[in-house]
Amino acid sequence: MDSQHQVLVVDDEESMRELLDIVLGNDGYKVFAVPTVDAALAALGEQKFDVVLTDLRMGADRDAGMTLLSWLQENAPSTPAIMITAHGSVETAIEAMKRGAADYVMKPFKNDEIRILVGRAIEQRDLLRENALLRRERASYGEVGNLIGASPAIERVREMIRRVAVLPSTVAIHGESGTGKEHVARSIHQLSTRSGKPFVAINCGGVPENLLESELFGYKKGAFTGATEDKEGLFVAADGGTLFLDEIGEMPLSLQVKLLRVLDNSVVMPVGGTSGIQVDVRIISATNRDLEEMVKEGEFRQDLFYRLNVIDVAVPPLRERKDDIPLLVRHFVEKHAQKLGREAMTVTPDAEAALRRFEWPGNVRELMNVIERAVALCTGDRIDCADLPSQVCDHVAAPGKDVTQLPPGGLDLETLIAEIETGLIEQALQNGRHSRKRAAQLLGLTTRSLRYRLQKYGLDSDEAPGDNPGL
């Protein structure tokens, strides 16, 4: 037995302290035995122990052992503890486990039983520490498996994930819809020390306001009509792990106050409850909205914004990482072909070129949906332009960088400018879903200037659906 393994015994019976000192000392453990919780806390403040054995009742205090377990859970969670008592019950055992006890044993016990429990507790502790070390090493080596791509833009995201995963701080992920913000959140969780605990996600914009509070915080029986039994909320379900709050910008102000309270004191108050529930949850939030602007407009609490935005991770839109499109396409083709029971499929060069040209306003989610449609409709084993939506195949790409190079024989500047403007306007209309207002925003023009150019180049024959005819 490793002589460095130190055991703290806490029991008000001197005979029990002496017995455990002898039994464990003979196995090579260094035993420190004290009679009270106060003495145990003093010892724990001075040195580290490999395992703690504590009695439940000491003197007049019927819950002394529980008090010590709670302290260990809060201040030394990696130190395993074993509860020893002569006054046990199933309820007591459950409560001890909830407070972090590694095991539970009744008096009188056999000496070999204690030896086995102590040895097992230390082995489990060592295994947890080894797993935590492996997770830190994985994070340092950047093993981020669920993000597809090799572009500099996505590599920057991976690097940020590696850096923040091992930290306890809250993380705010922002980016356009469909960029994969939940994948980033899951990667952070998987590389963190919480990876063995739950990852729980909720879309704050997808749940009605009157239900969001009970979903997050839970409720007590009778709290409202239909509450026929207690229900734990997502904070409790995610205890020890990560809670991902997607579309946090959609959370109503009334709930923002309650979320801030949980972030401040780690206590959840169920709807209709009178006592709080202590939780240990890391919060990762995401939004495609400008929260700073919402703060200025009074739509989002400034104090909550700062608590959520401790570390900021930006996910780039697909148009800024087009080199990743072939990799994503192959991944989605394989995934959906397998899902639909199709044989292996490929993508023709023309179709891949069209996919690369398109600007993907819906980002990776839109690309995935387009590929799923193509796999389903393709009659052969090669996806061609005919299998893609018309707006993808007919998309006009932005002009190349070489347009600023003057050819030796000169050029027709007016014609070239007209071609460039026409192409960019058509592209903006496509990316803006044929909304002239959105197209003008994409081009940095006023709607009046865009209307002038549409007339100039003969592109204004039809009004875009939903647009103001006066634009």
Compute how many other C-beta atoms are within 10 angstroms of the C-beta atom of residue 432. 19
Question: Pairing between strand 267-268 and 311-314?
Answer: unpaired
Would you kindly state where each structural domain of the chain is located, as residue ranges?
6-133, 144-316, 319-393, 410-456
| 52/79 Cα distance (integer angstroms) | 7
Residue 100: left (phi > 0), alpha (psi -120 to 50), or beta? Answer: left
Which fold is adopted by the domain 410-456?
A: Arc Repressor Mutant, subunit A (1.10.10)
Class of domain 6-133: alpha beta
For residue 238, give the nearest of 270, 283, 204 by alpha carbon. 283
Do 6-133 and 144-316 show the same overall fold? Answer: yes
- pLDDT tens for the 471 residues of the chain, in order: 444 789 999 999 899 999 999 999 998 899 999 999 999 999 998 888 999 999 888 888 888 888 998 898 888 888 899 988 776 666 777 788 888 788 888 888 888 888 999 998 888 888 776 666 665 555 444 445 578 888 999 999 999 998 999 899 999 999 999 999 999 999 999 888 898 899 999 999 989 888 999 999 999 988 888 888 888 899 999 999 999 999 999 999 999 999 999 999 999 999 998 888 999 999 999 999 899 999 999 999 999 999 999 999 999 999 999 999 999 999 999 999 999 998 899 999 999 999 998 989 899 999 999 999 999 999 999 999 999 998 888 765 555 545 566 666 677 777 778 878 888 888 888 777 778 888 888 888 888 888 888 888 887 754 444 444 333
Strand arrangement, sheet containing 171-174 = 199-203, 242-246, 282-287, 171-174, 311-314
CATH code for the part of the protein at 319-393: 1.10.8.60
Instruction: Report the alpha-carbon angle 169-175-176, nearest 5.
Output: 155
Find tokens 């055991």 and name the residue.
7
CATH of 144-316, one of 3.40.190.80, 3.40.30.10, 2.160.10.10, 3.40.50.300: 3.40.50.300
